[in-house]
């Protein structure tokens, strides 16, 4: 490139925040999970909202693991005419660590392509003597895959990378019995006139569940990408308004669904779902895997002030991939990581999470909850610092449940023991494995060990589980079982030896609630996740809201 042309090119070159951050610091970039970090609010198409990983509990799917990554939060179903197509200039990934070293061993990469019908001209109508392109996504009622009434074809491909996500061995997922790697995505639920009622739309969406072959895996898998109803139950407004609820409400288990005035089931999300046999995800004899999802954007883009006809022709992306979204355990970046480090956290890799360890061992949320909920100097915050119970729950896995056999790095990964059998939806404990152990008083007596923090299912009330963990709920069960909390080894930090028992709880936290359990085990946000509607089969998340008749 000649020096004479550089000034002109500089005027055309637009450095995205991601790119600028990548230039100034290898650790800095941008963020995820329901808009909780500063940059991601500007790029909702790559905002990862929730990550689920659990043993499939659909009948006949024994041995399979379902992995679900949701993107594009808080979608209003009526958001036409372009709705919520995925970004073809982004890279969406689901990562699996199967040996406990906080480095991905398998990565599933999703890339999207949105194409106008009619050889790129789009659907045209003859208006008088002219053929004129229509302004909408659809020209009429839609009911089949690649329907002729669709103005835009939404397709995607999935690669599996073994080893480093950028340097490993790459294979392409193909439809079983063919070499086809292009997969169709259903159009968003525009409305009843276009796609019928919810039953008709679900039938249409189910046509887009693809049975695929994964290179290197002997068992077929399933994949689905499409719009779903937001399944995350949270009293969103009051929670962010300094947990705007009275102690009587938030400490009373009988009122856990009594003041849910701003939950978000009237919104939609876009789901990337895989169902993969556990034999394709685990390594050796260890049944424990860790997972997380990310999204990346190109380091830079050029903006064209006079774009050509077509889709997204105003910008040209280029340069290296820069990670802009990351999500493993739910709520870590929302309520654990300090505001100043939220962007940094979402740009980082799990192997580097020790830089954030203080946020886990010395969390601020319990103190904030104590001031807000109890309004006294004691509050709910446990006295065992550093908090080894939170290290176990969020960074290493719990001994005897979901800690990797050869753990060498503490990291924020959603950890799943694939040897733990799934539990049918109707028998699941809403507080996951933590609630089952609390109810039984021991691991041996627990009837449901298949939920969070052992993976995460759609009906696991992770808000309440996280609140219980934050205020020391796990300390109450450490007296009857070995959670490994008294000798948690964090590489490069050493052995943490603070004991987490009922004795480390404050008087307020130890006081018994109406059900006999201590207050620390009863904290909730006023919304019962178990009341959210879900399917009992893949992809599990419910039919989305219709643009013309949204659910309430």
- Does residue 1 carry a pLDDT above 60? no
CA distances from 508 to 279, 373, 376, 420 (A): 46, 11, 10, 35
CA distance 549 to 552: 9
Name the DSSP letter for residue 5.
Answer: G
CA distances from 109 to 92, 95, 415, 535 (A): 6, 9, 20, 25
CA distance 543 to 518: 38
pLDDT band at residue 335, thresholds of 50, 70 and 90? confident
**Token pair for 506:** 């404050």
**Token pair for 436:** 């089952």
Average pLDDT over residues 179-190: 97
Name the residue with higher pLDDT: 5 or 318: 318
Average pLDDT over residues 63-77: 95
At residue 28, the pLDDT reads: 29
At residue 87, the pLDDT reads: 94
The H or E element that residue 149 is part of is: none
Q: How many CB atoms lie within 10 A of CB 159?
A: 17
CA angle 191, 77, 272 (to 5 degrees): 105
Name the residue with higher pLDDT: 270 or 401: 270
240 Cβ contact list (under 8 Å, min separation 6)? none
Nearest to 471 by CA among 396, 521, 514, 527: 521
**Token pair for 472:** 């020391």
CA 253 to chain centre: 27
At residue 5, the pLDDT reads: 35
Burial of 327 (0-12, 13-18, 19+ CB in 10 A): buried
Tell me how many helices (H) and strands (E) the chain has.
15, 19
CA distance 46 to 324: 7
At residue 243, the pLDDT reads: 67
Highest-pLDDT range among 167-181, 232-246, 424-438: 167-181
At residue 447, the pLDDT reads: 86
Identify the three-state secondary structure at position 293. Answer: strand
Q: How many CB atoms lie within 10 A of CB 89?
A: 17
Supply the pTM of this predicted model.
0.88
Task: Say which range, 170-179, 262-271, 486-495, 524-533, has the weakest mean pLDDT.
Answer: 486-495
At residue 137, the pLDDT reads: 93
CA distances from 357 to 267, 360, 388, 490, 496 (A): 34, 5, 11, 9, 12
Q: How many CB atoms lie within 10 A of CB 58?
A: 18
At residue 67, the pLDDT reads: 98
Beta strand pairing call for 169-172 and 152-162: antiparallel
Name the residue with higher pLDDT: 39 or 144: 144
pLDDT band at residue 38, thresholds of 50, 70 and 90? low
Beta strands in 8-149 (DSSP E): 13-14, 48-55, 64-75, 90-97, 106-116, 124-127, 130-133
At residue 378, the pLDDT reads: 59
CA angle 23, 25, 31 (to 5 degrees): 95
- Does residue 487 carry a pLDDT above 50? yes
Phi, psi of 394 (to 5 degrees): -110, -20
End-to-end CA distance of the chain: 58
**Token pair for 271:** 């789901």
Mean pLDDT, all residues of the chain: 83
The H or E element that residue 391 is part of is: helix 388-391
- Asked if 530 contacts 461 with a C-beta cutoff of 8 angstroms, the reply is yes
pLDDT band at residue 96, thresholds of 50, 70 and 90? very high
pLDDT tens for 283-318 read 999 999 999 999 999 999 898 888 888 888 888 889
pLDDT tens for 131-145 read 999 999 999 999 999
- Does residue 486 carry a pLDDT above 80? no
Could you give the percent of the chain with pLDDT greater than 70?
A: 82
Average pLDDT over residues 506-529: 79
In angstroms, what is the C-alpha Rg of the chain?
24
For every residue of 112-130, DSSP letters joined together read EEEEETTTTT--EEEETTE
At residue 27, the pLDDT reads: 30
CA distance 88 to 271: 16
CA distance 427 to 23: 50
CA distance 548 to 192: 6
pLDDT tens for 372-415 read 555 555 566 777 788 877 887 788 888 788 999 999 888 999 99
- Does residue 482 carry a pLDDT above 60? no
- Asked if 325 contacts 272 with a C-beta cutoff of 8 angstroms, the reply is no
CA distance 111 to 99: 27
Residue 225: beta bridge partners? 272
CA angle 104, 326, 216 (to 5 degrees): 30
């Amino acid at each position: 490139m000649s020096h004479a042309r550089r000034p002109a090119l500089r005027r055309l070159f637009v450095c995205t925040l991601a790119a600028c951050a990548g230039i100034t610091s290898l650790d800095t970039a941008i963020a995820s999970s329901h808009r909780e970090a500063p940059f991601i609010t500007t790029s909702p198409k790559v905002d990862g909202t929730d990550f689920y990983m659990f043993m499939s509990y659909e009948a006949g799917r024994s041995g399979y693991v379902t992995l679900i990554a949701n993107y594009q939060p808080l979608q209003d179903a009526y958001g036409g005419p372009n709705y919520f197509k995925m970004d073809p200039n982004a890279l969406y990934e689901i990562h699996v660590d199967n040996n406990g070293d906080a480095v991905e061993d398998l990565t599933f990469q999703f890339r999207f392509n949105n194409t106008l019908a009619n050889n790129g001209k789009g659907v045209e109508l003859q208006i008088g003597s002219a053929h004129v392109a229509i302004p909408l996504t659809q020209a009429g009622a839609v009911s089949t895959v690649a329907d002729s009434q669709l103005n835009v074809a939404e397709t995607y491909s999935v690669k599996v990378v073994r080893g480093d996500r950028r340097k490993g061995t790459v294979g392409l997922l193909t439809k079983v019995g063919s070499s086809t790697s292009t997969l169709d995505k259903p159009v968003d639920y525009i409305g009843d006139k276009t796609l019928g009622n919810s039953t008709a739309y679900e039938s249409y969406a189910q046509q887009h569940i693809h049975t695929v072959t994964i290179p290197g895996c002997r068992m077929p898998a399933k994949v689905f990408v499409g719009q779903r109803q937001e399944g995350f139950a949270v009293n969103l407004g009051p929670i962010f308004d300094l947990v705007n609820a009275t102690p009587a409400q938030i400490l009373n288990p009988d009122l856990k669904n009594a003041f849910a005035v701003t939950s978000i089931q009237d919104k939609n999300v876009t789901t990337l779902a895989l169902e993969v046999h556990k034999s394709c995800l685990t390594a050796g004899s260890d049944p424990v895997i860790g997972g997380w999802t990310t999204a990346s954007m190109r380091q830079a883009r050029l903006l064209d002030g006079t774009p050509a006809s077509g889709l997204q022709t105003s910008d040209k992306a280029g340069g290296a991939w820069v990670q802009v979204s990351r999500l493993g355990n739910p709520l870590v970046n929302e309520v654990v990581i300090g505001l100043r480090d939220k962007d940094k956290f979402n740009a980082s890799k799990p192997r580097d999470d020790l830089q954030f360890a203080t946020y886990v061992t010395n969390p601020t949320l319990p103190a904030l909850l104590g001031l807000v909920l109890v309004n006294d100097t004691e509050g709910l915050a446990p006295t065992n610092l550093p908090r080894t119970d939170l290290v176990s729950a969020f960074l290493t896995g719990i001994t005897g449940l979901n800690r990797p056999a050869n753990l060498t790095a503490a990291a924020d990964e959603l950890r799943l023991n694939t040897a733990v059998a799934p539990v049918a939806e109707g028998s699941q404990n809403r507080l996951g494995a933590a609630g089952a152990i609390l109810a039984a008083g021991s691991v041996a007596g627990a009837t449901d060990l298949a939920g969070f923090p052992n993976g995460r299912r759609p009906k696991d009330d992770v808000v309440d589980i996280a609140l219980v963990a934050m205020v020391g709920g796990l300390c109450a069960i450490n007296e009857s079982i070995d959670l490994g909390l008294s000798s948690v080894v964090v590489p490069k930090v050493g052995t943490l030896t603070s004991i987490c028992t009922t004795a480390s709880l404050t008087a307020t936290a130890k006081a018994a609630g109406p059900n006999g359990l201590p207050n620390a085990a009863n904290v909730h946000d006023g919304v019962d996740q178990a009341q959210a509607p879900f399917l009992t089969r893949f992809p599990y998340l419910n039919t989305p809201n219709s643009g013309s008749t949204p659910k309430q």
